[in-house]
Amino acid sequence: MSLLEIKNLTAKLADEDKQILNGLNLTVEKGQVAAIMGPNGSGKSTLSYVLAGREDYEVTDGEALLDGENILELSPDERAAKGLFLAFQYPIEIPGVGQMTFLKAAVNAQRRKNGLDDMPTPEFMKLVNGRAKELGISPDMLRRSVNVGFSGGEKKRNEILQMALLQPKLAILDETDSGLDIDALKIVADGVNAMRSPDRGFVVITHYQRLLDYIKPDVVHVLSAGRIIKTGGPDLALELEAKGYADIVGKAA
């Protein structure tokens, strides 16, 4: 069984007549890293939001199976507890809510939904401190409010920290590379690579080959106007980098 199977997914803005996803098909296997590339405005972020259950979008057709189960009827938190994680293109600030409080609330909320007890605080602290260190996240950052006053790069690293703590089955990274300098990019890529495993899948949304130099994809999909229009191996990314989207998008149209 595939980890993620999206069939004919069609979605529009909930309160407008604008259709964004137009019968999208995509399969991600366990252990796979799938890159999604595509022009601005083609629907990449929308795809990740629809999978995660954001209410701004209405699914009008199709289905999305995670481990064989259609998740489109579930609430966002239920999808999260089933192992779906989204690293946001623009992580959200929550003033007044300490990072540790937030991370602990998230870890324990998912554990509870999966029938586990809360993680004991000492164990949790050890886990966070360990992962934070690997990702170059300072103790000071862990004391601040969630994403408040973080630089673009710090926010992205913080997303990867959350992914590392939550250990999802399927992680969607939405332009995690944008806004990162080369050192930060390496740290993030190392964080992702360390989590690659035979039962985990990644969907890496990016514009740039640069990230894919560090996180080697198994497949590359091209998304345009709300559909996957081309699928290929790692070379496809290099080809896009060299020629741009115009050529391939033009051919598909």
Partner 1 sequence: MPAVQETVEQVRAIDIDQYKYGFSTDIEMELAPKGLSEDIVRYISARKNEPAWMLEWRLDAYRRWLTMREPDWARVDYPQIDFQDMYYYAAPKSNAAPKSLDEIDPAILETYKKLGIPLREQEILAGVAPENRIAVDAVFDSVSVVTTFKEELKKSGVIFSSISEALHEHPELVKKYIGSVVPTTDNYYATLNAAVFSDGSFVYIPPGVRCPMELSTYFRINEQKTGQFERTLIIADKGSYVSYLEGCTAPMRDENQLHAAVVELIAHDDAEIKYSTVQNWYPGDSQGKGGIYNFVTKRGDCRGARSKISWTQVETGSAITWKYPSCILRGDDSQGEFYSIAVSNGAQQVDSGTKMIHLGKNTRSRIISKGISAGRSQNTYRGLVSAHRRATNAKNFTNCDSLLIGNACGAHTVPYIESKTASAVFEHEATTSKVSEDQMFYCMQRGLTQEEAIALIVNGFVKDVLQQLPMEFMVEAQKLIAISLEGSVG
Ligand X SMILES: Nc1ncnc2c1ncn2[C@@H]1O[C@H](COP(=O)(O)OP(=O)(O)O)[C@@H](O)[C@H]1O
Binding site for Mg ion (CB under 5 A): 44-45, 89
Distance CA 104, CA 69 (A): 27
If contact means CB under 5 to 8 A according to the sort of partner, which of Mg ion, partner 1, ligand X, none does residue 53 touch?
partner 1
Task: Give, in order, the Cα–Cα distances in Å from 69 to each of 1, 4, 66, 96, 115.
Answer: 11, 9, 5, 37, 19
Distance of CA 111 to the CA centre of its chain: 20
* Helix, strand, coil fractions of the chain, as percent rounded to 5: 40, 30, 30
Considering only CA atoms, which of 156, 170, 140, 145 is closest in space to residue 80? 170
Specify the amino acid at residue 119. M
Considering only CA atoms, which of 98, 86, 148 is closest in space to residue 128? 98
Q: Taking CB under 8 A as the criterion, which residues in 53-82 touch partner 1? A: 53-56, 75-77, 79-81
If contact means CB under 5 to 8 A according to the sort of partner, which of Mg ion, ligand X, partner 1, none does residue 182 touch?
none
Site for partner 1 contains 208 (CB under 8 A): no
Site for partner 1 contains 162 (CB under 8 A): yes
Cβ-based nearer residue to Mg ion, 154 or 174: 174
Cβ-based nearer residue to partner 1, 14 or 194: 14
Taking residues 85 to 124 in sequence order and writing x for each that binds partner 1 by CB under 8 A, - otherwise, the string is xx-x--xx-xxxxx--xx--xxx-xx--x-----------
Are 153 and 181 in contact by the 8 Å Cβ rule? The answer is: yes
Are 64 and 57 in contact by the 8 Å Cβ rule? The answer is: no
Cβ-based nearer residue to ligand X, 139 or 250: 250
Cβ-based nearer residue to Mg ion, 44 or 79: 44
If contact means CB under 5 to 8 A according to the sort of partner, which of partner 1, Mg ion, ligand X, none does residue 43 touch?
ligand X
Cβ-based nearer residue to ligand X, 44 or 82: 44
Distance CA 104, CA 93 (A): 17
Cβ-based nearer residue to ligand X, 41 or 149: 41
Q: Which residues of the shown chain bind partner 1 in the complex (CB under 8 A)?
A: 52-56, 75-77, 79-81, 85-86, 88, 91-92, 94-98, 101-102, 105-107, 109-110, 113, 145, 162, 166
